[in-house]
Chains A and B, each alone.
Chain A
Amino acid sequence: MSYLAQRLLIAILLVFLVSFASFAVLMLLPGDPVRLMLGTEAPPHLVEELRAQYGLDRPWLLQYADWLAGAVSGNLGESFIYKMPVTQIIVDRLPMTLSLTIFASLMALLIALPLGIWAAVKRGSWVDGFIQAVVQIWIAIPNFWLGILLLLGFTVMIPLFPPGNFVPISEGLGAHLHSLFLPALTLAIAEAAVLIRMFRASLVEVLNKDFMTFAHTKGLPTRKKYIRYALRNSLIGPITVIGLQVMSLISGVIIIEQIFNLPGLGRLLLIAVQQRDLFLLQGLVIFITVTVILVNLCVDLLYTRIDPRIQLHATKRRTT
């Protein structure tokens, strides 16, 4: 069996287990979607009627079996509150979340890469000290506070960006990115802080390696030395971190979406939990699980592209 086939099989198993666990937890949690829909004053017979209509009066294992049968054929059920297919809701919200994730990640990378390299090359100097101090502050700043500050600063005081107006990508890429700039920057600052540290630490380690001295005494030009020899050797750590960051971004960033009034998956998740919207929540959990698995796979495949010593094998045994 090939490596990819094995990964796929494990992924399917994982999705199944996660869906079961989340379904079970939702069923065991107190709180009734029907009660939330109709209010606490609703007459009992109406509640019973609605429960029967949604099939909520049956044993939960049976309900899960029903849901699973639908899920396998691509139907994740219908949301109680939106009265729409769950897949439809997620697909509607996905482009914005995806845009924000990619935009914020790229921005973080653009900030972190040069600063991390600069700090590593000038390690021990005042430049390094300054960058480290800035990073320390960036890590300490709470995300929501920075978001509010940016919103206040660049929409109210200096109106560079429209407040709370999300422009979908269908209305032009420029306007779309413009409307996402501030939330992306807010997220990017926090991520860049972690990435700068990562880049600096792994670069410093690599710069002290014998092969860097050897590259130096071969008479290699500085740029070649730093990019082909140093940078490539220090990518594994940062890529792992970027993978983790992308995962957390794609599953939604509740507070930032709230501050900037963005219709993203984070807010959807919040609503689904608050309203006990069983199928919506279940659908979101599945979506996040699949995303995490996919990003992990991408990161693993990237490792092998960077380092020829890393090989992905279908079996656990490593042949050398």
Chain B
Amino acid sequence: MLEIQDLSLELYVDKTWKPALRPLTFRLEPGEITGIIGESGSGKSLLAKALMNILPARARVASGSIRLHGTELLSLPRHRFRSVYGRQLAYIFQNPAGALNPLMRIGDQLLDALLAHEEVPRKEAVRRALKALEEVGISDPERVFRAYPHEISGGMKQRAVIACAVIHEPDLLIADEATTALDATIRKQILDLFLVLSKKKRMSILYISHDIAAVQYVADKIMVLYGGMLLETGARGDVLDRPLHPYTADLLQAVPYHVKPGTKLAGIPGNVPPITAKPPGCIYAPRCGYATERCKEDLPPMVVAEDPSTAADKIPHTHACFHPLLRDSLGKETHLNTNPSSPEGRERYVQQPAAH
């Protein structure tokens, strides 16, 4: 449905254009939730904005193609996007309060979204708007319809935003940190709503978050972004339970949920390299316990893993690492290419991620 081919993005920093997202290729299919995991600065939000054609002025697409049902979006004139928005592509934000016009009633904003693409008589429009509110799990749609944004709770606001975004049942819904600002119980309800939209309405959802637990809960497919590079993709189970890229493994070790109780959280030493000082080789090499000289000089290509456990799976498990983590027959991690110069790095990987 949506095909992204060698898409790369650049950011304007210090008066030059610097690569912010190295060429990446992936597809999004109807009825599928794709989770993008990445730390701040990984380029995940920029990717989402590029797909929506709402990149800020300091960012631009350097190369590649984004095709929606075969139509190239990158060459689509700006005014033509109006008919794409809402009906084919929809986007929701991290902060639901900011996404709603504070001076307009929820109902009017919903009607605006509906009437942007359809000529509907007022009565019919109101009926459909109320139904849309009900479908996103709002129990008293009449009250919310008449309310101003400041009169309803954060969870309600995010539901209202989702109702606005999906009222025309778009092919793709991009949720950029859409549950990060919500508390745990509301977050689960919103995630369940995404599952319903994806499975019942066959919507494709691109769920972007640094919240690994949330991604694990909803995503069918996971992409791991780091410093503007795609490091690993695959089915949820493959990526989270059998990570191949050392970065993914390190990231999981830093999440309480994935570690045995009583063990110290590992954390990842060092920081994401700034956009102005990206290494020529693997982007993770400076922080990686397994990095060799080759990692520091050559860019590892994206390859499909020949892991026997994923052979039967339809979603290929890919990674961009010269020394992927391997597993023995017991499912324990072993690593054949461990860098002898960093024994502490080796030690980290002996421990198996806790089952959950």
State whether these chains interact.
yes
* A contacts, CB < 8 Å to B: 209-211, 213-221, 224, 228-229, 232-233, 306-309
Shortest distance between the CB of A228 and any CB in chain B (Å): 7
On whether the beta carbons of A309 and B150 are closer than 8 Å, the reply is yes
B104 at the interface (CB under 8 A from A): yes
Q: B167's closest neighbor in chain A, by CB? A: A218
Q: Are A217 and B98 in contact (CB under 8 A)?
A: no
Q: Is the pair A211, B116 in contact by a Cβ cutoff of 8 Å?
A: no
Q: Contact flags (1/0) for B196-238 with A, using CB distance below 8 Å?
A: 0000000000000000000000000000000000000000000
- Chain B, residues 36-80, CB within 8 Å of chain A (1/0): the string is 000000000000000010100000000000000000000000000
Query: Which residues from 59 to 114 on chain B have a C-beta closer than 8 Å to any C-beta of chain A?
Result: 81-87, 89-93, 95, 98-104, 112-113
* Other-chain contact of B103, A213, A220, A224, A307 (Cβ < 8 Å): A307
Q: How far is the CA of A232 from the CA of B105 in the complex (A)?
A: 13
Closest to A229 in B: B101
Q: Which residues of A contact B100 (CB under 8 A)?
A: 211, 214
What separation, in Å, do the CA atoms of A209 and B99 have in the docked complex? 8
* Interface assignment of B27: CB less than 8 Å from any CB of chain A: no
Q: Is the CB of A214 within 8 A of B99?
A: yes
CB distance from B216 to the nearest CB of A (A): 27
Taken together as a complex, chains A and B put the C-alpha atoms of A218 and B92 apart, in Å, by 10
Which residues of B come within 8 Å of A, CB atoms?
Answer: 52, 54, 81-87, 89-93, 95, 98-104, 112-113, 116-117, 148, 150, 161, 164-165
List 6 A-B pairs, minimum CB-CB distance, nearest first: A210-B98, A219-B85, A219-B86, A214-B99, A219-B116, A218-B113
Name the distance in Å between A55's Cβ and chain B's nearest Cβ: 57
Q: Are B99 and A211 in contact (CB-based, < 8 A)? A: yes
Residues of chain A with a CB closer than 8 A to B98's CB: 209-211
Q: Which DSSP category, helix, strand, loop or mixed, fits chain B's interface? A: mixed
Residues of B within 8 A of A210 (CB): 93, 95, 98-99
Beta-carbon nearest neighbor of B100 in chain A: A211
Residue in A210, A219, A306, A309 with the greatest tally of chain B CB atoms within 10 Å: A219
List residues of chain B with CB within 8 A of the CB of A211: 98-102
Expressed in whole angstroms, the Cα–Cα distance for A210 and B113 within the complex equals 16
Chain B positions within 8 Å of A209 at CB level: 98
Given contacts A229-B101, A233-B102, contact A217 B54 (CB under 8 A): yes
Q: A224 vs B101: C-alpha distance in the bound complex, in angstroms?
A: 13
- Smallest CB-CB separation from B92: which chain A residue? A214
Contact of A308 among B89, B117, B148, B165 (CB under 8 A): B148
- Whether the pair A224, B112 counts as a contact (CB closer than 8 A) is yes
17 chain-A/chain-B pairs, Cβ below 8 angstroms: A213-B54, A213-B93, A214-B91, A214-B92, A214-B164, A216-B54, A217-B91, A218-B112, A218-B164, A219-B82, A219-B86, A220-B112, A220-B116, A307-B102, A308-B148, A308-B150, A309-B150
Task: Supply 6 further A-B pairs (C-beta < 8 A) apart from A211-B99, A219-B85.
Answer: A211-B102, A215-B101, A217-B165, A218-B116, A219-B87, A221-B116
Chain B residue at minimum C-beta to C-beta distance from A235:
B103
A214 touches B52 (CB 8 A): no
Q: How far is the CB of B170 from chain A (nearest CB, A)?
A: 10
Interface hub of A210, A214, A228 (most chain B Cβ within 10 A) = A214
**A233 adjacent to B103 (CB under 8 Å):** yes
* Residues of chain A lying within 8 A (CB to CB) of residue B84: 219
A217 touching B101 in the complex, CB below 8 Å, given contacts A308-B148, A309-B148: no
Q: A210-B93, A224-B112, A309-B148 are in contact. Are A216 and B101 (CB under 8 A)?
A: no
Q: Using CB atoms, name the residue of chain B closest to A211.
A: B101
Pair B103/A308 contact, Cβ less than 8 Å: yes
Contact of A219 among B83, B95, B99, B101 (CB under 8 A): B83
Asked if residues B85 and A217 are in contact (CB atoms below 8 Å), the reply is yes
A221 to B164, CA, bound (A): 15
Bound-complex Cα distance A220 to B115 (A):
9
CB of A304 to closest CB in B, whole Å: 12
User: Are A228 and B90 closer than 8 Å at their CB atoms?
Assistant: no
Contacts of A213 in B (CB 8 A): 54, 91, 93, 99
Considering the chains assembled together, what is the distance between the CA atoms of A215 and B102 in angstroms?
12
For the complex formed, measure the closest distance between the CB of A169 and the CB atoms of chain B, giving whole angstroms: 37
> Which among A214, A221, A232, A308 is the interface contact of B82 at CB below 8 angstroms?
A221
Q: Which residue of chain A has its CB nearest to the CB of B83? A: A219
- Most chain-B Cβ atoms within 10 A of its Cβ — which of A209, A211, A228, A307? A211
Q: Is B103 a contact of A232 with CB atoms below 8 Å?
A: yes
Determine whether the beta carbon of A217 is less than 8 Å from that of B116.
Answer: no
**Are B116 and A309 within 8 A (Cβ)?**
no
CA A214 to CA B98, docked complex, whole Å:
9
